[in-house]
Amino acid sequence: MVSRVMCLRKSGSFFLNSTPHHLNLPSPLLANVGYRHWPGAKYKISAVHSDTSSAQKVLEKEQEKPSEKWRIKMLYDGECPLCMREVNMLKEQNERFGTIKFVDISSSNYSPEENEGLDYKTVMGRIHAISYDGTVLTDVAAFRRLYEEVGLGWVYAITKYEPIASIADAIYGVWAKYRLQITGRPPLEKVLEERRKKMVDACENDACRM
């Protein structure tokens, strides 16, 4: 029987004053147990050091992980070489924040149902972003929000105000209209037809998305 247990905290160790001299402790939880006499103590004192190094390492690793809670989706055309320069820059910046979820609309797995009903033709026409609450953003407003989410809001800050906002949207509209020709790709109608054929071929080979 233990007649008395006194726990003291000193220099990162716990000191147990107890009788008898030997106290059975669960070894997986406690380490570095030694017995010594403490001035003024009636019985021998055991110093128990709790090994927290492993738990600390796990905590630090968890803190290093980026947030998996995205706040906005970026729908991008993975077959557009100029677009991918900006996308790759945002992806690199997003490694620190984890706030953007990138969705490649050129992928055969792209699903309108998972992206507020936005079909391939629609999202090919201009930039689209989807907020976590389902709000759909387009044109410069989409870029502004995406940049804000990765700490680069100052790049598009001026586009919040008129007449800059209207001018910026007009300039982007021209780019969106001619981007396929600018990047050496066929017109949108041709791109849509090629994609349709790929999807039909995939379905015939039992690899289509159901």
77 & 36 share domain: no
Give domain status of residue 56, yes or no: no
Neighbour-count burial for 148-187, b at 16+ CB within 10 Å, e otherwise: bbbeeeeebeebeeeeebeebeeebeeeeeebbeeeeeee
123 & 32 share domain: no
Residue 200, pLDDT score: 79
90 & 155 share domain: yes
Give domain status of residue 41, yes or no: yes
**Digit-coded pLDDT (tens) for 147-204:** 999 999 999 999 999 999 999 999 999 999 999 999 999 999 998 998 888 877 766 6
14 & 111 share domain: no
In this prediction, the residues of the chain whose per-residue pLDDT falls under 50 are 1-38, 41-52, 58-59, 61-67, 210
Residue 201, pLDDT score: 72
Residue 4, pLDDT score: 41
Residue 18, pLDDT score: 42
Give domain status of residue 123, yes or no: yes
| Residue 34 structural domain | 6-51
Give domain status of residue 113, yes or no: yes
Residue 112, pLDDT score: 96
Give domain status of residue 193, yes or no: yes
Residue 195, pLDDT score: 87
26 & 128 share domain: no
107 & 138 share domain: yes
User: Number of folded domains in the chain?
Assistant: 2
Residue 170, pLDDT score: 95
Give domain status of residue 131, yes or no: yes
Residue 205, pLDDT score: 65
The residue written with tokens 């160790």 in the block is: 13
Residue 204, pLDDT score: 66
Strands (E), 51-110: 72-76, 100-104
46 & 106 share domain: no
132 & 35 share domain: no
pTM over 0.75: no
116 & 175 share domain: yes
Give domain status of residue 132, yes or no: yes
